[in-house]
Structure 1
Amino acid sequence: MARTDLSPLTGADVVALENACTPQRVEAGTVLLNAGAPPTAVHIVREGRVHLAMRNPPVGRQTIGIVGAGGVVGDVPLLTQQDMPFDAYADVDSTLLTLGRDQFLTLLSDSASLSLRWTTSMAQRIQESQRRLVTLLTKDLASQIATVLMDHRVRQDGAWIVPMPHQTIAHLLGARRQSVSRVLGHLRRDGLVRSRYGSVEILDLPRIAELAGDDTDGGDLAASA
């Protein structure tokens, strides 16, 4: 839920959140919020992944965003009193912390520090959306794909894994799957990535970061690789 150094929670806030949230385990494919309906709850992803998807009748759901551990779903449309613009569903078996609408609004109204923390979280998500838009408008497909790989990588058994198939990467970029597969094929031949079933392994993190235009310190990336 955003950086703790920007707006740290107080001990009372942590207790209030713990008491207000309802933990729930959901299976892959479970729809949490429906497009076109007013959100009735806010979900914090404690473990797993939630996809945000538009309904595209010719192809079915089209993923436009992925929310991982620590991410939040449903708070923006709830606060702006708008219907959900997309479906939110669990991509894998996931654990959520759920706040009902009234609980959520009461928590924010009762705690200035929690309200600041939540505002910071929302601001960072807006900033991330703007960064993604700039990427789509100004970079070529190879750099766009590298950006997605950097943004969604996770550490598994000592390797950097991006747990999504080529089709999902294509959806996130509004590109054709064949075009994405072709670019990943070039990266694979150059020794930057390796294809796995339903995922991509990053073999050369510093070079992928360079291709993405990531300004993270190269030494840090080399050490983390």
Structure 2
Amino acid sequence: MSDRALAILRSCSLLSGLPESALREAATAARIRPFRTGQVLYERGEVQSTLSVVGTGNVRISSTNPEGREVILTLFQAGAWFGDTVFSPGMPRVFGATAHSDGELLEIPGQDYRALLSRYPEAYPRTLDMLSRRLWSAISVIEDNALRDMPGRLGRRLLFLAETLDGHALTEPVTFKLTREHIASMLGMSRQGVHGVLKQLEREGLVRFGYGTVTLPDPQALRHYLDGH
């Protein structure tokens, strides 16, 4: 068991329902996998069940359109988890995962994680809560795409990204390693359209953007703004 693996596990809210003894067991079964920008971590359609926790860096979840262009669905930063097939062994991965920056990933084999849950059933309430929150967020994105205008869609997607930072209460500034091109890919917008919407939200003091980054200085203020429009 490595101290680094244990530290990453402690940072993941999905695992916060497990007692310390269980986290130590998980750290023994886990491996840390370094990655480089642009590296494909998991291919769409792979049949394997691994629970992955981002230790450092950023990972993007994406799909490919019929023309072969990557469509970014969401972005995970340190502490976030992914690999929902860990709960459904034998199911293929619906989406691929690619390193968005240099960093490291902690991987727990699915059979080891499921065995932990069976030995520590007190973790189930937290696990189900996190799965429910993720499902709610995904359905909200679908609703936003159908019903909201471009500022609403973009703002809600930024809030969705903030909410995927597990354990984040949205009470402090959040910064994403994200370009206008990435946001355009997520929303099916042009880069110019994204730039115009970001400038609009920036004038309201709701976002700040720099070279390759977007910051929400007050996520709750952005939420209130969007609720009123």
Superposition TM-score, scaled by structure 1 size: 0.77
Give secondary structure in 1 for the equivalent of 2:46: coil
**Residue 96 (1) aligns with residue 105 (2):** yes
Give the unaligned 5+ runs of structure 1.
Answer: 215-225
CA distance in 1, matches of 2:25, 2:123: 10
Deviates more, 1:74-83 or 1:177-186: 74-83
How far is 1:90 from its partner? 1.4
TM-aligned CA distance change 1:26 to 1:188, over 3 Å: same
CA distance in 2, matches of 1:118, 1:149: 24
Deviates more, 1:33-42 or 1:83-92: 33-42
Superposition TM-score, scaled by structure 2 size: 0.76
CA distance in 2, matches of 1:191, 1:122: 32
Partner of 2:8: none
Residue correspondence of structure 1 range 1-225 to structure 2 within 5 A? 1-2=12-13, 8-56=17-65, 58=67, 60-76=69-85, 79=88, 81-152=90-161, 160-202=174-216, 207-213=221-227
CA distance in 2, matches of 1:122, 1:206: 22
Give secondary structure in 1 for the equivalent of 2:113: helix
CA distance in 2, matches of 1:84, 1:49: 19
Q: Look up the equivalent residue of 1:14 and give its one-letter code.
A: L
Q: Look up the equivalent residue of 2:144 and give its one-letter code.
A: T
CA distance in 1, matches of 2:142, 2:58: 22
Q: Percent identity?
A: 23
Q: Look up the equivalent residue of 1:195 and give its one-letter code.
A: F
Runs of 4+ in 1 over 6 A off after TM superposition: none
Partner of 2:5: none
Cα RMSD (Å) of the superposition?
3.0
How far is 1:49 from its partner? 1.5
For residues 54-83 of structure 1, the C-alpha deviation after alignment (integer angstroms, 9 at most, x for no partner) is 022535211012122222222336515321
How far is 1:35 from its partner? 0.6
Q: Look up the equivalent residue of 2:131 and give its one-letter code.
A: M
Partner of 2:4: none
TM-aligned CA distance change 1:65 to 1:193, over 3 Å: closer
CA distance in 2, matches of 1:161, 1:62: 21
How many pairs are equivalent? 210
Q: Is the 8 A contact 1:144 1:212 kept in 2?
A: no
TM-aligned CA distance change 1:115 to 1:23, over 3 Å: farther
